[in-house]
């Protein structure tokens, strides 16, 4: 299912004081693969006490992303793009259409999984 994801050698981002504490970044490549880059602070004796707290919020972010909880926020962010370039508008429009198509394809494929192979009533009506 995830054969379009491609591991990339971990890249370290230099985060300044006013930037995010940790990051998860997705890069879309020309060949359709997706790189996933993860970064967090360089831990040492001075900041080791913050590991639990940072790990908790990092895990919450990963969970929210995996469960689709950021979908509405991401769509709102896409809709608030720079309108001065008509190609940006066309790109965002196409992205939103593709999101709808993906959801429809997932929904259509999951219909078969919800229906039992043998109807529960047929189990009891079987003649032996």
Burial 14-37 (b: 16+ CB within 10 A, else e): eeeeeeeeeeeeeeeeeeeeeeee
**Residues above pLDDT 70, as percent of the chain:** 72
The answer to whether residues 21 and 42 touch, using CB atoms and an 8 Å cutoff, is: no
37: tokens are 């880059």
- What integer pLDDT is reported at residue 1 of this predicted model? 38
- What integer pLDDT is reported at residue 62 of this predicted model? 95
Distance CA 50, CA 52 (A): 6
By three-state DSSP, how is residue 88 classified?
A: helix
- 86, 124: one domain: yes
Q: Which residue has the higher pLDDT, 8 or 100?
A: 100
pLDDT digits (tens, 9 = 90+) for 21-36: 899 999 999 999 999 9
- 51, 87: one domain: no
Domain that holds residue 107: 70-128
Instruction: Report how far apart, in Å, the C-alpha atoms of 35 and of each of 82, 85, 99 are.
Output: 26, 27, 19
Average confidence score pLDDT of the chain: 82
Q: Which of 69, 96, 116 is the last residue of a domain?
A: 69
Residue 2 has pLDDT above 60, yes or no: no
- 53, 79: one domain: no
- The model carries a pTM of 0.64
- 90, 74: one domain: yes
- 75, 62: one domain: no
pLDDT digits (tens, 9 = 90+) for 52-93: 999 999 999 999 999 999 999 999 999 998 889 999 999 999
């Amino acid at each position: 299912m995830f054969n379009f994801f491609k591991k990339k050698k971990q890249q370290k981002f230099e985060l300044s004081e006013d930037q995010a504490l940790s990051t998860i970044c997705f890069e879309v490549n020309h060949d359709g693969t997706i790189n996933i880059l993860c970064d967090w602070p360089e831990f040492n004796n001075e900041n080791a006490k913050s590991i639990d707290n940072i790990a908790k919020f990092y895990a919450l972010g990963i969970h929210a992303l995996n469960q689709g909880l950021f979908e509405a926020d991401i769509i709102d962010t896409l809709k608030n793009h720079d309108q001065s370039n008509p190609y940006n508008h066309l790109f965002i429009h196409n992205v939103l259409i593709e999101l709808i198509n993906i959801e429809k394809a997932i929904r259509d494929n999951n219909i078969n999984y919800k229906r039992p192979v043998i109807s529960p009533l047929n189990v009891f009506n079987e003649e032996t």
